[in-house]
Amino acid sequence: MVNSNILVNPPIVSNPTPEAKPFLVLDNLSKVYPTPTGPYTVLENVNLTVSEGEFICLIGHSGCGKSTLLNMVGGFTQPTTGEVRLPTGVVTQPGPDRMVVFQNYSLLPWKTAFENIYLAVKSVFPHKSKKEKIEIVREHLALVGLEEAADKKPTQLSGGMKQRVAIARALAICPQVLILDEPFGALDPLTREDLQEELLDIWRRHQVTVLMITHDIDEALFLADRLVMMTNGPAATIGEVLNIPFSRPRNRAQIMEDPTYYDLRNYALDFLYHRYAHDDAA
Ligand SMILES: Nc1ncnc2c1ncn2[C@@H]1O[C@H](COP(=O)(O)OP(=O)(O)OP(=O)(O)O)[C@@H](O)[C@H]1O
Protein backbone atom coordinates (compact mmCIF):
# COMPACT_ATOMS: atom_id res chain seq x y z
CA MET A 1 0.00 0.00 0.00
CA VAL A 2 1.25 3.45 -0.89
CA ASN A 3 1.22 6.15 1.77
CA SER A 4 0.15 9.54 0.43
CA ASN A 5 2.32 11.22 3.11
CA ILE A 6 5.42 10.25 1.15
CA LEU A 7 4.51 12.67 -1.64
CA VAL A 8 7.15 15.36 -1.77
CA ASN A 9 5.45 17.59 -4.32
CA PRO A 10 1.75 16.81 -4.58
CA PRO A 11 0.79 16.73 -8.27
CA ILE A 12 -1.53 19.28 -9.77
CA VAL A 13 -5.04 17.90 -9.65
CA SER A 14 -7.24 19.57 -12.22
CA ASN A 15 -10.97 20.12 -12.16
CA PRO A 16 -12.75 18.13 -14.84
CA THR A 17 -13.29 21.32 -16.85
CA PRO A 18 -10.14 22.83 -18.37
CA GLU A 19 -10.05 26.47 -19.46
CA ALA A 20 -9.50 25.60 -23.12
CA LYS A 21 -12.44 25.58 -25.52
CA PRO A 22 -14.65 22.52 -24.88
CA PHE A 23 -14.78 19.93 -27.65
CA LEU A 24 -16.11 16.70 -26.20
CA VAL A 25 -18.41 17.13 -23.22
CA LEU A 26 -19.61 14.35 -20.93
CA ASP A 27 -22.46 16.13 -19.18
CA ASN A 28 -23.77 14.59 -15.99
CA LEU A 29 -23.81 11.06 -17.34
CA SER A 30 -25.32 8.15 -15.52
CA LYS A 31 -25.93 4.60 -16.64
CA VAL A 32 -28.36 2.23 -14.99
CA TYR A 33 -28.77 -1.35 -16.23
CA PRO A 34 -31.90 -3.34 -15.50
CA THR A 35 -30.95 -6.63 -13.85
CA PRO A 36 -33.05 -9.55 -12.50
CA THR A 37 -32.45 -8.21 -8.99
CA GLY A 38 -33.41 -4.62 -9.86
CA PRO A 39 -31.76 -1.57 -11.44
CA TYR A 40 -27.97 -1.50 -11.19
CA THR A 41 -26.33 1.93 -11.31
CA VAL A 42 -22.95 1.55 -12.97
CA LEU A 43 -22.07 5.23 -13.39
CA GLU A 44 -23.39 8.39 -11.79
CA ASN A 45 -22.63 12.11 -12.13
CA VAL A 46 -19.84 11.72 -14.67
CA ASN A 47 -18.69 15.12 -15.89
CA LEU A 48 -15.69 15.75 -18.11
CA THR A 49 -14.82 18.37 -20.69
CA VAL A 50 -12.15 17.47 -23.22
CA SER A 51 -10.38 19.95 -25.49
CA GLU A 52 -9.80 19.27 -29.16
CA GLY A 53 -6.64 17.23 -29.67
CA GLU A 54 -6.30 16.29 -26.02
CA PHE A 55 -5.03 12.86 -25.02
CA ILE A 56 -7.03 11.52 -22.08
CA CYS A 57 -6.31 8.25 -20.28
CA LEU A 58 -8.90 6.61 -18.06
CA ILE A 59 -7.94 4.34 -15.21
CA GLY A 60 -9.98 2.53 -12.58
CA HIS A 61 -10.52 -0.89 -11.11
CA SER A 62 -12.01 -3.71 -13.14
CA GLY A 63 -15.79 -3.41 -13.41
CA CYS A 64 -16.03 0.26 -12.40
CA GLY A 65 -17.58 1.21 -15.72
CA LYS A 66 -14.75 2.45 -17.98
CA SER A 67 -15.95 0.53 -21.03
CA THR A 68 -19.54 1.56 -20.33
CA LEU A 69 -18.39 5.19 -20.32
CA LEU A 70 -16.47 4.89 -23.59
CA ASN A 71 -19.38 2.99 -25.14
CA MET A 72 -21.57 6.00 -24.41
CA VAL A 73 -19.04 8.27 -26.14
CA GLY A 74 -18.95 5.80 -29.04
CA GLY A 75 -22.74 5.92 -29.21
CA PHE A 76 -23.07 2.14 -28.74
CA THR A 77 -25.07 2.59 -25.57
CA GLN A 78 -27.18 5.53 -24.44
CA PRO A 79 -26.78 7.27 -21.08
CA THR A 80 -29.69 6.84 -18.67
CA THR A 81 -29.37 10.53 -17.82
CA GLY A 82 -27.15 13.28 -19.19
CA GLU A 83 -25.59 13.52 -22.63
CA VAL A 84 -22.38 13.27 -24.60
CA ARG A 85 -21.80 16.32 -26.83
CA LEU A 86 -19.48 17.15 -29.68
CA PRO A 87 -19.50 20.44 -31.63
CA THR A 88 -21.65 18.59 -34.21
CA GLY A 89 -24.34 17.81 -31.64
CA VAL A 90 -25.46 15.28 -29.05
CA VAL A 91 -24.14 11.75 -29.59
CA THR A 92 -27.07 9.39 -30.16
CA GLN A 93 -25.50 6.60 -32.22
CA PRO A 94 -22.15 5.31 -33.47
CA GLY A 95 -20.60 7.34 -36.28
CA PRO A 96 -17.37 7.62 -38.27
CA ASP A 97 -16.44 10.73 -36.27
CA ARG A 98 -15.70 8.41 -33.29
CA MET A 99 -13.66 5.30 -34.00
CA VAL A 100 -13.01 2.57 -31.47
CA VAL A 101 -10.00 0.26 -31.22
CA PHE A 102 -10.48 -2.73 -28.92
CA GLN A 103 -7.93 -4.93 -27.16
CA ASN A 104 -8.80 -7.94 -29.36
CA TYR A 105 -8.02 -6.18 -32.69
CA SER A 106 -11.45 -7.02 -34.20
CA LEU A 107 -10.09 -7.49 -37.73
CA LEU A 108 -11.94 -9.60 -40.29
CA PRO A 109 -9.85 -12.80 -40.32
CA TRP A 110 -10.58 -13.67 -43.96
CA LYS A 111 -9.42 -10.26 -45.25
CA THR A 112 -5.88 -9.01 -45.66
CA ALA A 113 -4.54 -6.01 -43.72
CA PHE A 114 -5.10 -3.89 -46.84
CA GLU A 115 -8.66 -5.18 -47.34
CA ASN A 116 -9.58 -4.65 -43.68
CA ILE A 117 -8.69 -0.97 -43.97
CA TYR A 118 -10.10 -0.64 -47.49
CA LEU A 119 -13.53 -1.90 -46.38
CA ALA A 120 -13.74 0.76 -43.66
CA VAL A 121 -12.61 3.49 -46.08
CA LYS A 122 -15.14 2.33 -48.68
CA SER A 123 -18.03 2.41 -46.22
CA VAL A 124 -17.24 5.91 -44.99
CA PHE A 125 -16.09 7.48 -48.28
CA PRO A 126 -18.31 5.79 -50.90
CA HIS A 127 -17.99 8.76 -53.26
CA LYS A 128 -14.20 8.76 -53.43
CA SER A 129 -12.65 7.12 -56.49
CA LYS A 130 -11.07 3.68 -56.15
CA LYS A 131 -7.66 5.28 -56.72
CA GLU A 132 -8.23 7.74 -53.85
CA LYS A 133 -9.41 4.97 -51.53
CA ILE A 134 -6.36 2.83 -52.33
CA GLU A 135 -4.15 5.84 -51.68
CA ILE A 136 -5.76 6.41 -48.25
CA VAL A 137 -5.21 2.75 -47.32
CA ARG A 138 -1.56 2.81 -48.47
CA GLU A 139 -0.91 6.05 -46.62
CA HIS A 140 -2.29 4.61 -43.37
CA LEU A 141 -0.47 1.30 -43.71
CA ALA A 142 2.70 3.37 -44.10
CA LEU A 143 1.74 5.44 -41.05
CA VAL A 144 1.97 2.31 -38.90
CA GLY A 145 4.96 0.89 -40.79
CA LEU A 146 3.09 -2.00 -42.37
CA GLU A 147 3.44 -1.45 -46.14
CA GLU A 148 5.16 -4.82 -46.44
CA ALA A 149 2.36 -6.64 -44.62
CA ALA A 150 -0.47 -5.26 -46.77
CA ASP A 151 -1.36 -8.66 -48.26
CA LYS A 152 -1.16 -10.66 -45.06
CA LYS A 153 -4.22 -11.94 -43.25
CA PRO A 154 -4.60 -11.45 -39.47
CA THR A 155 -3.43 -15.03 -38.71
CA GLN A 156 -0.12 -14.17 -40.43
CA LEU A 157 0.38 -11.04 -38.30
CA SER A 158 1.75 -10.70 -34.76
CA GLY A 159 -0.40 -9.15 -32.02
CA GLY A 160 1.43 -5.85 -32.37
CA MET A 161 0.97 -5.85 -36.15
CA LYS A 162 -2.74 -6.62 -35.81
CA GLN A 163 -3.15 -3.73 -33.42
CA ARG A 164 -1.28 -1.46 -35.85
CA VAL A 165 -3.74 -2.47 -38.59
CA ALA A 166 -6.67 -1.76 -36.25
CA ILE A 167 -5.27 1.69 -35.44
CA ALA A 168 -4.57 2.41 -39.14
CA ARG A 169 -8.12 1.34 -40.00
CA ALA A 170 -9.59 3.62 -37.34
CA LEU A 171 -7.51 6.62 -38.45
CA ALA A 172 -8.04 6.04 -42.18
CA ILE A 173 -11.57 7.34 -41.91
CA CYS A 174 -10.43 10.56 -40.21
CA PRO A 175 -12.35 10.38 -36.92
CA GLN A 176 -12.54 13.38 -34.61
CA VAL A 177 -12.25 11.16 -31.57
CA LEU A 178 -10.19 7.99 -31.30
CA ILE A 179 -11.48 5.69 -28.54
CA LEU A 180 -9.02 3.06 -27.38
CA ASP A 181 -10.26 0.35 -25.01
CA GLU A 182 -7.08 -1.12 -23.50
CA PRO A 183 -5.50 -1.41 -26.94
CA PHE A 184 -2.15 -2.73 -25.78
CA GLY A 185 -3.38 -4.98 -22.96
CA ALA A 186 -2.65 -8.21 -24.84
CA LEU A 187 0.84 -7.25 -26.01
CA ASP A 188 4.23 -8.10 -24.54
CA PRO A 189 6.00 -5.21 -22.75
CA LEU A 190 8.47 -4.38 -25.53
CA THR A 191 5.86 -4.36 -28.30
CA ARG A 192 3.67 -2.35 -26.00
CA GLU A 193 6.33 0.32 -25.54
CA ASP A 194 6.94 0.47 -29.30
CA LEU A 195 3.26 0.93 -29.98
CA GLN A 196 2.93 3.61 -27.29
CA GLU A 197 5.65 5.61 -29.07
CA GLU A 198 3.99 5.07 -32.44
CA LEU A 199 0.63 6.08 -31.07
CA LEU A 200 2.07 9.34 -29.73
CA ASP A 201 3.67 10.05 -33.09
CA ILE A 202 0.41 9.33 -34.94
CA TRP A 203 -1.60 11.40 -32.47
CA ARG A 204 0.78 14.34 -32.95
CA ARG A 205 0.48 14.14 -36.72
CA HIS A 206 -3.28 13.51 -36.88
CA GLN A 207 -4.25 15.93 -34.12
CA VAL A 208 -7.03 13.55 -33.12
CA THR A 209 -8.66 13.69 -29.69
CA VAL A 210 -7.94 10.45 -27.82
CA LEU A 211 -9.82 8.71 -25.01
CA MET A 212 -7.96 5.62 -23.89
CA ILE A 213 -8.64 3.05 -21.17
CA THR A 214 -5.57 1.53 -19.60
CA HIS A 215 -4.76 -0.45 -16.47
CA ASP A 216 -1.15 0.70 -16.61
CA ILE A 217 -0.27 3.90 -14.74
CA ASP A 218 3.13 4.17 -16.47
CA GLU A 219 1.46 3.92 -19.86
CA ALA A 220 -0.97 6.69 -18.90
CA LEU A 221 1.83 8.93 -17.59
CA PHE A 222 3.81 8.51 -20.81
CA LEU A 223 0.86 9.12 -23.14
CA ALA A 224 -1.76 11.37 -21.63
CA ASP A 225 -2.30 15.08 -21.10
CA ARG A 226 -4.67 14.19 -18.28
CA LEU A 227 -5.31 11.02 -16.34
CA VAL A 228 -8.92 10.50 -15.31
CA MET A 229 -9.18 8.29 -12.23
CA MET A 230 -12.48 6.52 -11.61
CA THR A 231 -13.91 5.60 -8.24
CA ASN A 232 -15.28 2.11 -7.65
CA GLY A 233 -18.77 0.99 -8.57
CA PRO A 234 -21.62 0.74 -8.11
CA ALA A 235 -22.40 4.34 -9.01
CA ALA A 236 -18.79 4.99 -9.99
CA THR A 237 -17.76 8.47 -11.04
CA ILE A 238 -14.66 10.47 -11.85
CA GLY A 239 -12.71 10.73 -8.61
CA GLU A 240 -9.85 12.96 -9.68
CA VAL A 241 -8.15 14.17 -12.81
CA LEU A 242 -4.36 14.45 -12.85
CA ASN A 243 -2.62 16.90 -15.14
CA ILE A 244 0.44 15.31 -16.69
CA PRO A 245 2.77 18.21 -17.33
CA PHE A 246 5.64 16.61 -19.29
CA SER A 247 6.53 18.52 -22.44
CA ARG A 248 6.14 16.95 -25.86
CA PRO A 249 7.52 15.20 -27.76
CA ARG A 250 8.07 12.95 -24.77
CA ASN A 251 11.13 10.91 -24.15
CA ARG A 252 10.54 7.93 -21.87
CA ALA A 253 14.02 7.92 -20.34
CA GLN A 254 13.90 11.66 -19.61
CA ILE A 255 10.45 11.47 -18.05
CA MET A 256 11.57 8.66 -15.80
CA GLU A 257 14.39 10.80 -14.48
CA ASP A 258 11.94 13.54 -13.51
CA PRO A 259 10.88 13.47 -9.82
CA THR A 260 7.41 14.68 -10.88
CA TYR A 261 6.95 11.31 -12.60
CA TYR A 262 7.22 9.52 -9.26
CA ASP A 263 5.01 12.07 -7.50
CA LEU A 264 2.30 11.49 -10.08
CA ARG A 265 2.82 7.73 -10.05
CA ASN A 266 2.60 7.55 -6.25
CA TYR A 267 -0.44 9.78 -6.24
CA ALA A 268 -2.26 7.56 -8.76
CA LEU A 269 -1.21 4.39 -6.94
CA ASP A 270 -2.43 5.85 -3.67
CA PHE A 271 -5.76 6.73 -5.29
CA LEU A 272 -6.23 3.21 -6.68
CA TYR A 273 -4.81 1.04 -3.94
CA HIS A 274 -5.43 3.08 -0.81
CA ARG A 275 -8.19 5.64 -1.16
CA TYR A 276 -10.26 3.57 -3.62
CA ALA A 277 -8.88 0.13 -2.96
CA HIS A 278 -10.87 -2.58 -4.67
CA ASP A 279 -11.86 -5.69 -2.72
CA ASP A 280 -9.86 -7.94 -5.07
CA ALA A 281 -6.98 -5.53 -5.55
CA ALA A 282 -6.36 -4.16 -2.08
N1 LIG B 1 -25.54 -4.94 -20.29
C2 LIG B 1 -25.26 -4.96 -18.99
N3 LIG B 1 -26.21 -5.30 -18.09
C4 LIG B 1 -25.96 -5.31 -16.77
N5 LIG B 1 -24.75 -4.98 -16.23
C6 LIG B 1 -23.77 -4.64 -17.09
C7 LIG B 1 -23.96 -4.61 -18.50
N8 LIG B 1 -22.80 -4.22 -19.08
C9 LIG B 1 -21.92 -4.02 -18.08
N10 LIG B 1 -22.51 -4.27 -16.89
C11 LIG B 1 -21.88 -4.14 -15.57
O12 LIG B 1 -21.42 -2.81 -15.46
C13 LIG B 1 -20.23 -2.77 -14.69
C14 LIG B 1 -19.17 -2.01 -15.46
O15 LIG B 1 -18.73 -2.77 -16.60
P16 LIG B 1 -17.59 -2.22 -17.56
O17 LIG B 1 -17.30 -3.30 -18.55
O18 LIG B 1 -17.98 -0.89 -18.08
O19 LIG B 1 -16.37 -2.05 -16.53
P20 LIG B 1 -14.83 -1.79 -16.82
O21 LIG B 1 -14.40 -0.77 -15.84
O22 LIG B 1 -14.63 -1.46 -18.26
O23 LIG B 1 -14.20 -3.20 -16.48
P24 LIG B 1 -12.84 -3.89 -17.02
O25 LIG B 1 -11.73 -3.01 -16.57
O26 LIG B 1 -12.84 -5.22 -16.30
O27 LIG B 1 -12.96 -4.03 -18.50
C28 LIG B 1 -19.85 -4.21 -14.38
O29 LIG B 1 -20.29 -4.52 -13.08
C30 LIG B 1 -20.64 -5.00 -15.40
O31 LIG B 1 -20.96 -6.28 -14.91
Express each pLDDT in 211-247 by its tens digit.
Answer: 999 999 999 999 999 999 999 989 999 999 999 999 9
Site to substitute for ligand 1 among 30, 32, 35, 42, most atoms within 8 A of C-beta: 42
17 in any annotated domain: no
**pLDDT for the residue 1:** 41
Instruction: Say whether both 195 and 146 belong to one domain.
Output: no
**Identity (one letter) of the amino acid at 261?**
Y
Instruction: Say whether both 68 and 189 belong to one domain.
Output: yes
Instruction: Say whether both 112 and 74 belong to one domain.
Output: no
User: Bigger pLDDT: 8 or 180?
Assistant: 180
Per-residue pLDDT band at 106 (split at 50, 70, 90) = confident
Alpha carbon dihedral 55, 59, 64, 70, in 10-degree steps, equals 20
Asked if residue 64 has its Cβ within 6 Å of ligand 1, the reply is: yes
- Average pLDDT (159-164) is 92
**pLDDT for the residue 280:** 58
Asked if residue 71 has its Cβ within 6 Å of ligand 1, the reply is: no
- Average pLDDT (34-40) is 94
Please name the residue whose Cα sits nearest to atom 28 of ligand 1.
63
User: Bigger pLDDT: 16 or 201?
Assistant: 201
Q: Select from 144, 174, 204 the last residue of a domain.
A: 174
Instruction: Say whether both 212 and 113 belong to one domain.
Output: no
Count the domains in the chain.
2
Residue 39 CB neighbour total at 10 angstroms: 9
Range of the domain at 246: 22-97+185-275
Of 60, 27, 105, the C-alpha closest to 240 is: 60
Asked if residue 31 has its Cβ within 6 Å of ligand 1, the reply is: no
Of 247, 233, 243, 238, the C-alpha closest to 264 is: 243
ipTM of the complex: 0.97
Which of 71-80, 199-208, 237-246 is predicted least confidently? 199-208
137 in any annotated domain: yes
**pLDDT for the residue 205:** 86
282 in any annotated domain: no
Instruction: Say whether both 90 and 195 belong to one domain.
Output: yes
- Average pLDDT (85-113) is 92
